[in-house]
């Protein structure tokens, strides 16, 4: 079972009770993911030998990378939106007895010419340091968050994370005696925000969608040629795993959920035929249908099909029999890493 023992949407009463427990001595940890499209926060306490209980959360679409692909810099409007979200996160932390805060920023801040200057502003708004992490660490954190979903029969896992400004692919050895090990990773500077800005309407047309699939697939082929992943898949024991809004949306459509449910989706094994049918259903909905769907909504309309095109490229290059859907990512990886370090015996003393 996944290590997260309470969903981030836990009722206020449950959360307040958990805070009372925290005040009695249970340490609290916070993790912030400042992404190209979203700002997300989790606050949690350790639960069991290798899990945690989510006590509070925050998620807001901020479109920090808006305009970045054309100007090379973060815009004033985007930075203002991010600052407002970070202030809201900081206010949450100020009310809680949080022992440690781990905050990271990803592709938008890596690429922007004014990224470093913005981070100083972001840290003032948030009230804690924010690290701009390299693509490899981003893949490592995604691997760490999804590791509890690996199965004993797995030899390898191919994990993808479709982000706002980039897509990370992690090739993982899972048959280690202790923790899984990252064999190799690739970060392609194409995500849902970059594709929308380049030509937002392209993925709503059949030919445009197919062009994006071909373009992205070409980027992945070079990675496959180095690691022979398709060959490993044919030999068996390789799990394809996805962590992003794209794959959780695919799962929501495939399961015909009346509304999004993390409990129903996280860790769900989606047979590839079901995923293919869900992809076709999404492509046929049009903007109005996507906006009206309870698993999508108007804020995400523009991003769904670009994400689906990236997913279709992954599906084309690596034709697995199924897909494990992961509703978890950098925040969960940061929390698990921090809690593991806390449990590690100290040398000396």
pLDDT at residue 20, rounded to an integer: 47
Structure tokens at 96: 């809680």
Domain 12-133 fold: Nucleotidyltransferase; domain 5 (3.30.420)
Which of 4-18, 179-193, 294-308 comes out lowest in average pLDDT?
A: 4-18
pLDDT at residue 175, rounded to an integer: 78
CATH class of 136-330: alpha beta
**Got the DSSP string for 272-290?**
HHHHHHHHHHHHHHHHHHH
Residues shown for the chain = 349
pLDDT at residue 11, rounded to an integer: 35
User: Phi/psi at 153 (nearest 5 deg)?
Assistant: -80, -5
3-class DSSP state of 190: coil
Q: Which of 274, 175, 169, 153 is nearest to 224 (CA)?
A: 169
Q: Are strands 51-61 and 98-105 parallel, antiparallel or unpaired?
A: unpaired
Give the tens place of pLDDT for each residue, 137-159: 999 999 999 988 998 889 999 99
* Residue 199 pLDDT grade (very low, low, confident, very high; cuts 50, 70, 90): confident
149 secondary structure, DSSP code: G
Global confidence as pTM: 0.87
- Report, as an integer, the average pLDDT of 48-65: 90
Distance from C-alpha of 276 to C-alpha of 285, rounded to nearest angstrom: 15
Residue 14, H or E segment: helix 12-23
- Report, as an integer, the average pLDDT of 52-66: 94
Residue 145, H or E segment: helix 135-146
pLDDT at residue 16, rounded to an integer: 44
Residue 8 has pLDDT above 50, yes or no: no
Which strand ranges, in their side-by-side order, compose the sheet holding 238-242? 181-188, 167-173, 156-162, 238-242, 322-325, 269-271
Residue 169, H or E segment: strand 167-173
Residue 19 has pLDDT above 70, yes or no: no
CB 104 within 8 A of CB 32: yes
Distance from C-alpha of 37 to C-alpha of 63, rounded to nearest angstrom: 4
Q: Which of 157, 135, 331 is nearest to 242 (CA)?
A: 157
Residue 14 has pLDDT above 60, yes or no: no
Structure tokens at 184: 């190799």
pLDDT at residue 10, rounded to an integer: 38
| CA separation, residue 32 to residues 35, 128, 173, 228 (Å) | 9, 10, 27, 35
Q: Do domains 12-133 and 136-330 have the same CATH topology?
A: yes
Structure tokens at 202: 């392209």
Listed by start position, the domains of the chain span 12-133, 136-330
- Report, as an integer, the average pLDDT of 90-101: 93
* Residue 348 pLDDT grade (very low, low, confident, very high; cuts 50, 70, 90): low
**Got the DSSP string for 62-110?**
--TTTTHHHHSS--HHHHHHHHHHHHHHHHHHHTS-EEEEEEEE-HHHH
- Report, as an integer, the average pLDDT of 275-298: 92
CA angle in degrees (0–180, nearest 5) for 128-133-137 = 125
Q: Which residues contact 277 (CB under 8 A, 6 or more apart)?
A: 254
Higher pLDDT, 327 or 178: 327
Q: Which of 305, 239, 297, 303 is nearest to 268 (CA)?
A: 239
3-class DSSP state of 45: strand
pLDDT at residue 347, rounded to an integer: 58
Give the tens place of pLDDT for each residue, 263-282: 999 999 999 999 999 999 99
| CA separation, residue 107 to residues 115, 168, 237, 288 (Å) | 10, 10, 32, 30
Q: Which of 282, 246, 248 is nearest to 265 (CA)?
A: 248
Give the tens place of pLDDT for each residue, 325-345: 999 999 999 999 999 888 766
CB 84 within 8 A of CB 63: no
Residue 183 has pLDDT above 90, yes or no: yes
CB 183 within 8 A of CB 154: no
């Amino acid at each position: 079972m996944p290590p997260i023992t309470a969903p981030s949407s836990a009722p206020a009463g449950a959360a307040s009770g958990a805070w009372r427990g925290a005040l009695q001595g249970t340490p609290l940890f916070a993790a912030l993911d400042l992404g190209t499209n979203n700002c997300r926060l989790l606050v949690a306490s350790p639960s069991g030998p290798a899990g945690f209980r989510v006590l509070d959360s925050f998620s807001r679409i901020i479109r920090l990378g808006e305009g970045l692909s054309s100007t090379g810099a973060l815009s004033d409007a985007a930075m203002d939106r991010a600052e407002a979200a970070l202030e809201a996160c900081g206010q949450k932390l100020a009310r809680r007895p949080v022992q440690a805060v781990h905050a990271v920023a990803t592709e938008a801040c890596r690429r922007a010419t004014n990224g470093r200057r913005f981070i100083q502003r972001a840290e003032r708004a948030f009230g804690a340091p924010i690290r701009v992490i390299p693509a490899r660490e981003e893949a490592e954190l995604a691997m760490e968050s999804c590791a509890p979903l690996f199965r004993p029969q797995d030899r390898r896992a191919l994990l993808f994370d479709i982000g706002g400004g980039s897509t990370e692919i992690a090739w993982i050895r899972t048959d280690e005696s202790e923790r899984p090990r990252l064999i190799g990773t690739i970060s392609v500077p194409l995500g849902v925000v970059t594709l929308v800005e380049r030509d937002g309407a392209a993925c709503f047309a059949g030919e445009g969608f197919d062009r994006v699939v071909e373009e992205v697939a070409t980027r992945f082929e070079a990675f496959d040629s180095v690691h022979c992943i398709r060959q490993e898949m044919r030999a068996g024991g390789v799990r394809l795993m996805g962590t992003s809004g794209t794959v959780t949306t695919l799962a929501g459509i495939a399961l015909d959920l009346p509304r999004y449910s993390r409990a129903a989706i996280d860790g769900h094994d989606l047979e590839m035929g079901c995923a293919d049918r869900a992809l076709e259903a999404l492509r046929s909905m049009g903007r109005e249908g996507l906006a009206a769907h309870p698993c999508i909504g108007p804020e995400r309309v523009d991003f769904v099909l670009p994400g689906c095109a990236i997913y279709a490229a992954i599906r084309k290059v690596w034709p697995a029999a199924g897909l494990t859907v992961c509703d978890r990512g950098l925040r969960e990886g940061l929390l698990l890493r921090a809690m593991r370090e806390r449990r590690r015996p100290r040398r000396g003393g």
